[in-house]
Amino acid sequence: MYCMKRPIIKWVGGKYRLIGSLEKRNFFVDDFDRYIEPMVGGGSVFMYVAENYDFDRGILNDINPDVIGLYKVIRDETDLLLEELDELVSEFRKKEKTEQEKFYYKRRKDYNQIRESGNEDKVRKTALLIFLDRTCYNGLYRENSGGNFNSAFWDYDEGRRIYIEEDIRKLSDFLDRCELYSLDFAKLFAQEINIGKEDFVFFDPPYLSSEFDYYQGGEFEYKDHRRLFELSRMLTREGNYVIACNSDSDVVRELYSSSELFNINRVSAKVSITCNPEGRGSNDELVICGNIDPGPRILQKTLRAKDY
C-alpha cells in the first residue's frame, strides 16, 4: 500500500516531526468513532491517523478559508489540480535561477489577486498556494497586515519535489470521508456538529507566547486559549478522547492543571520552521490529554522520519 511521503503544504506549527513521539508514547487512540481536528493547518496528524487507524468519519476545520479551500479542491478536483500544478512547475523548472525568482513573485501577485477577487478560480488558487508554499523562504506561509501572502522567494533546491502526485491522490481518498469547515473552533461545535462520545479530537492552536501568533490573520490570545480549555474540558466530560498541544509554559500548565480531567505530558520535538533558520533545534512542548493515558508502546511499524 502506498504511504504518503509528506504533508501537501508545509505549515507553521505543523506536527510532522512530533508524530513519532506521539506514537511511541501511546497518545493515539486505537478505537474511536469520528476524528475531529478543529485547527487542521497542514494536516500532518490527520494524514497519519487516516493512514494508520480506522474511523467512521473525519471533520476538519481551519479558521483560514484558503486552507479548507485547498482540501476541498484536492478532494473534489484532483485531476484538474494536478494538471495546473504540472503546468506551473514545468514552467518554473525551465527557467534560470534569476528568472525563477521573478516567476515566483509574479505568481505570488496572481495568488493575492485571485484571493481579493469576487470570482475565485479555486483550482488555480490552490495550485498557486501549493507552489508558493514549497518555494517560499524557509517554507514559511506568512500574511501581512492587509491579509496578503508576503513570504519572500527561497533559492529552491532543484532536487526537491514541489509536489508529489501520489500524495495528492492519497489525500483525496482520505478526504472523501471528511466534512470540511472554516469556522472559529468553538463555533464548529456550537453550530455545525453534534458533540458525540468516543470521538478523537485533536487541537493544535497557535502556541501561547509563540512568535507565530500573528501569521494566520490575527492573534490567538489568552482568552482564546481559555475558550479552548473550556471546550476541551466539556468534550472530555462527555467521554471523548482529547489532545491539545501547546507550549511548555507555566501559564499553560496552570490553566490545564486546574482540572483533574487532564494529564499533562512534556515531549521534545524538532523545530522545522522558525523566523531564524539558524535557530532550528529541539523544543519542549506540552501534550495535554483527556481520557487518554499515554505510556510506552511497542511499535508495529517503522515510522518515517524524512527531513523535508
Q: Is residue 5 part of a domain?
A: no
What's the grid cell of residue 127? 495550485
Distance CA 57, CA 194 (A): 13
The 3-state secondary structure of the chain, one letter per residue: CCCCCCCCCCCCCCCHHHHHHHHHCCCCCCCCCEEEECCCCCCHHHHHHHHHCCCCEEEEECCCHHHHHHHHHHHHCHHHHHHHHHHHHHHHHCCCHHHHHHHHHHHHHHHHHHHHCCCCCHHHHHHHHHHHHHHEHHHCCCECCCCCECCCECCCCCCCCCCCHHHHHHHHHHHCCEEEECCCHHHHHHHHCCCCCCCEEEECCCCCCCCCCCCCCCCCCHHHHHHHHHHHHHHHHCCCEEEEEEECCHHHHHHHHCCCCEEEEEEEEECCCCCCHHHCCEEEEEEEEECCCCCCCCCCCCCCCCCC
Q: Would the pLDDT of 298 be above 60?
A: no
For residues 186 and 59, membership in a common domain is answered with yes
Q: Give strand pairing partners of 180.
A: 60
219 and 254 in one domain? yes
**299 inside domain:** no
CA dist 132 and 130 (Å) reads: 6
**Within a domain: residue 306?**
no
- Nearest-angstrom CA–CA distance, 135 and 85: 13
Predicted local confidence at residue 212, as pLDDT: 47
165 and 136 together in one domain: yes
The residue among 274 and 2 whose pLDDT is bigger is: 2
Q: What is the mean pLDDT of residues 209-217?
A: 48
Residues 190 and 58 in one domain: yes
The residue type at 79: D
The number of helices, as runs of H, and strands, as runs of E, in the chain is 10, 7
Q: Do 89 and 230 belong to one domain?
A: no
Q: Which of 175, 192, 213 is the last residue of a domain?
A: 175
pLDDT in the model for residue 21 = 85
Does residue 297 lie within any of the structural domains? no
Q: Quick one: pLDDT at residue 101?
A: 95
pLDDT tens digits, one per residue of 230-242 = 999 999 999 999 9
Say if 8 falls within a structural domain. Answer: no
This prediction has a pTM of 0.88
Query: Largest Cα–Cα distance in the chain?
Result: 59
| Domain with 79 in it | 66-175
**Which value, to the nearest 10 degrees, does the dihedral of the CA atoms of residues 21, 219, 64, 100 take?**
-80
User: Is residue 106 a part of any domain in this protein?
Assistant: yes
Last residue of some domain: 175, 209, 237? 175
Q: Is 7 among the domain residues?
A: no
254-266 pLDDT, tens digit per residue, is 999 999 999 999 9
Q: Are 86 and 219 within one domain?
A: no
- Hey, what's the cell of 98? 534569476
219 and 275 in one domain? yes
* Model pLDDT for residues 105-155, shown as the tens digit of each residue: 999 999 999 999 877 799 999 999 999 999 999 878 888 888 899 999 987
Q: What CATH number does the domain containing 272 carry? A: 3.40.50.150
Query: Which of these three, 142, 175, 208, is where a domain ends?
Result: 175
**pLDDT, tens only, 61-117:** 999 999 999 999 999 999 999 999 999 999 999 999 899 999 999 999 999 999 998
Q: Are residues 188 and 286 in the same domain?
A: yes
pLDDT score recorded for residue 15: 83
- The reply to whether 97 and 236 lie within a common domain is no
In a domain, 9, yes or no: no
Quote the number of domains for the chain. 2
For residue 24, give the 3-state DSSP assignment: helix
| CATH code of the domain in which 116 resides | 1.10.1020.10
Q: Same structural domain for residues 141 and 163?
A: yes
Question: Is the distance from CB of 142 to CB of 151 less than 8 angstroms?
Answer: yes
138 and 151 share a domain?
yes
- In this structure, are 217 and 277 located in the same domain? yes
Instruction: Please write the tens of the pLDDT for every residue from 8-49.
Output: 998 877 787 788 888 888 899 999 999 999 999 999 999 999
Is residue 299 over pLDDT 50?
no
